[in-house]
């Protein structure tokens, strides 16, 4: 708790500096186009085809044919799809040869990291039209190879080399949480049930069928106490957003959405190196910075796409972002607060759990889904009249957290 | 095969060598050049006792490549007597008998093999105290 307190203090002293910095130097940024492929097992499509498909949809949505830059969020292209150098490859195949392009990596939050990069490029005034694509192609590889690759999001020398999968690292977190707060496995069921219920209405989701509480309780263990239905599935997919300065948004799209906050924070990569393993300090810090930038608090957020790679992460994110007290995040699932009609709808299009988790693409999918909600294009999953949406993408077991807040422009 | 990568870790893997901060006294495993608590660079090597207890645990049923032979195996966050947490496998224990708070000690065991022509990687695992 000692470090938490000192970081909290440091945050407070940053308030003024950051506020003035923003007013003085940076431009407001808008999202003027979105695109996504269906998430799933795309045996017939390669990584580049998926990326280009989502990119073409987003560029058509924005009405653009050229861009200043393309940033690609991807975690394991080399391991899973046998391809690195993704920025240039995808730029070329999408018809953007010549543009600035490179890949951004931050494990499971590579997608949001690419968006952060795009935000910085536009906000700084260095670029006007920036395309951000998140893509991951995972299903070509065997399960044990996928598990070994994903484990690289943890500490390679001191976690993965001991035989821990990324699931196992989260299982250690979940076991201790259950021990400290007296929660049972079944208490997390409604996170998965809610995600699957919402995925039914999302044509891009991987699992468009509801699951029952009973099915959750009978699901086989992957790394106990985490069972198959606690866990988001690996998948293929790509999602894209197009950014421009807010002042130019109307030139491209009548339904532009403003990015009112973009914030990244880090903790230790290894779970064992955290001062307090049950508190997601990176999520807390990035959410606090985002709230401050946007001038809002958790009570103002109408939809929240959180990082439900495992049900325990939903509980911990809700706590870290100020929606629940410590040790009480799991209760929000039980009493229906997280449903589409509840005070804090989460995973409104299925979340990582049921939309699917193409890791490096996930952060961009989350933002695309918030844009759909804010535009009123979420179909049967439409939350009533949302004005503010938040997306939080987390790398590893809480090592990196990236929070974006989006708003309907006034 | 990344043999040098495993060889470089021999002090940590065989002897649990970490660091101690000379400025604030914080103890770290694995070793670090900068104290994460007070940011001092005045650190010295410290060999941990290898005694500790289970802080959290999980039995793994789907293993990453290279660890399939151990399924099902139990991994743990081990709270060392000196303070830090270490991530390691448990050994010489029935998976069903592991509990938070169980007293354990470090032993050296095979972590994995790299096939017929490859090396065998050894390192720390933990077993219940008084097992033998």
Using one digit for the tens of pLDDT, what is the confidence trace for A134-180? 999 999 999 999 999 999 999 999 999 999 999 999 999 999 999 99
Residue A246 sits in a domain whose CATH number is: 3.40.47.10
Rounded to 5 degrees, φ, ψ at A408 are: -70, 125
Whole-number Cα distances in Å, A120 to A29, A66, A235, A259:
9, 19, 29, 11
Position A190 in a domain = no
In chain B, the number of structural domains is 1
User: Quick check: is A227 in a domain?
Assistant: no
Q: Which residues on chain A are in Cβ contact (under 8 Å) with B56?
A: 172-173, 175-176, 179, 277
pLDDT 10s digits, B91-111: 999 999 999 999 999 999 999
Q: Which residues does B contribute to its contact with A (CB < 8 Å)?
A: 5-6, 9, 12, 30, 36-37, 55-68, 70, 73, 75-77, 84-89, 100, 111-112, 121, 123
Residue A351 — left, alpha, or beta (φ > 0 → left; ψ -120 to 50 → alpha)? left
On the question of pLDDT at A54 being above 60, the answer is yes
Whether this model's pTM surpasses 0.90: yes
pLDDT band of A2, cuts 50, 70, 90: very low
Q: Identify the band that residue A112 occupies on the pLDDT scale cut at 50, 70 and 90.
A: very high
Helices (H), chain B: 3-8, 10-15
> CA dist B7 to A162, B16, B66, B98, Å?
15, 14, 18, 31
Q: What is the pLDDT of residues A376-395, one digit of tens each?
A: 999 999 999 999 999 999 99
Within a domain: A217: no
Structural domains in chain A (count):
1
Please list the pLDDT of chain B residue by residue as tens digits (132 residues): 578 999 999 999 999 999 999 999 999 999 999 999 999 999 999 999 999 999 999 999 999 999 999 999 999 999 999 999 999 999 999 999 999 999 999 999 999 998 888 889 999 999 999 755
- Domain assignment present for residue A373? The answer is yes
User: A309 and A393 in contact (C-beta within 8 Å)?
Assistant: no
User: Which residue of A161, A173, A271 is in closest CB contact with B111?
Assistant: A161
Q: How confident is the model at residue A25 (pLDDT cuts 50, 70, 90)?
A: confident
Coil, strand or helix: which one is A343?
coil
Residue pair A284/A403 in contact (Cβ under 8 Å)? The answer is: no
Its domain, for residue B53, covers 3-128
The CA dihedral of B69, B74, B79, B85, to the nearest 10 degrees, is: 50
Q: Which chain B residues have a beta carbon less than 8 Å from that of A151?
A: 64
A208 lies in some domain: no
Q: Domain residues for A391?
A: 2-141+233-405
**Chain B partners of A145 at a C-beta cutoff of 8 Å?**
65
Q: What is the pLDDT of residue A20?
A: 46
């Amino acid at each position: 708790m000692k470090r938490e307190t000192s970081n909290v203090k440091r945050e407070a002293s940053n308030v003024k500096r950051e506020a003035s910095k923003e007013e003085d130097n940076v431009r407001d940024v808008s999202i003027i186009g979105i695109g996504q492929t269906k998430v799933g097992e795309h045996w017939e499509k390669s990584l580049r085809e998926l990326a280009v498909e989502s990119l073409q949809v987003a560029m058509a949505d924005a009405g653009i044919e050229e861009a200043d830059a393309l940033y690609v969020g991807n975690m394991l292209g080399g391991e899973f799809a046998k391809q690195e150098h993704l920025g240039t490859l995808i730029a070329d195949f999408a018809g953007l040869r010549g543009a600035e392009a490179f890949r951004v990596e931050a494990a499971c939050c590579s997608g949001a990291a690419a968006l952060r990069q795009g935000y910085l490029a536009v906000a700084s005034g260095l670029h006007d039209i920036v395309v951000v694509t998140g893509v991951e192609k995972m299903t070509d590889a065997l399960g044990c190879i996928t598990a070994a690759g994903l484990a690289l999001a943890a500490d390679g020398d001191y976690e993965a080399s001991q035989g821990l999968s990324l699931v196992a690292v989260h299982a250690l977190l979940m076991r201790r949480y259950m021990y400290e707060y007296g929660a049972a496995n079944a208490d997390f069921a409604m996170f998965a049930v809610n995600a699957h219920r919402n995925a039914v209405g999302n044509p891009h989701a991987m699992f468009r069928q509801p699951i029952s509480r009973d099915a959750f309780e009978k699901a086989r263990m992957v790394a106990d106490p985490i069972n198959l239905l606690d866990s988001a599935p690996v998948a293929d997919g790509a999602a894209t957003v197009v950014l421009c300065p807010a002042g130019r948004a109307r030139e491209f799209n009548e339904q532009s959405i403003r990015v009112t906050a973009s914030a990244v924070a880090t903790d230790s990569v290894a779970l064992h190196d955290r001062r307090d393993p049950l508190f997601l300090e990176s999520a807390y810090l990035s959410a606090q910075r985002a709230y401050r930038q946007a001038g809002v608090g958790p009570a103002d957020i109408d939809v929240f796409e959180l990082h439900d790679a495992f049900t325990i992460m939903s509980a911990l994110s809700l706590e870290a972002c100020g929606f629940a007290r410590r040790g009480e995040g799991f209760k929000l699932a039980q009493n229906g607060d997280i449903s589409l009609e509840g005070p804090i709808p989460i995973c409104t299009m299925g979340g990582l759990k049921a939309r699917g988790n193409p890791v490096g693409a996930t952060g961009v999918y989350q933002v695309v889904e918030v844009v759909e909600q804010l535009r009123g294009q979420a179909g049967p999953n439409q939350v009533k009249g949302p004005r503010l949406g938040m997306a939080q993408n987390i790398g590893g077991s809480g090592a990196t957290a990236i929070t974006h807040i989006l708003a309907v422009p006034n | 095969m990344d043999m040098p990568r495993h060889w470089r870790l021999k002090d940590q893997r065989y002897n649990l060598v970490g660091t101690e901060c000379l400025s604030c006294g914080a103890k770290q495993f694995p070793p670090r050049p900068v104290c994460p608590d007070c940011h001092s660079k005045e650190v010295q090597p410290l060999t941990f006792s290898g005694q500790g207890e289970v802080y959290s645990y999980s039995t793994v049923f789907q293993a990453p490549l290279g660890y399939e032979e151990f399924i099902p195996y139990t991994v743990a966050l081990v709270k060392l007597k000196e303070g830090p947490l270490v991530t390691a496998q448990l050994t010489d224990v029935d998976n069903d008998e592991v509990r938070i708070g169980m007293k354990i000690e470090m032993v050296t065991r095979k972590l994995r093999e790299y096939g017929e022509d490859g090396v065998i990687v050894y390192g720390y695992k933990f077993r219940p105290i008084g097992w033998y």
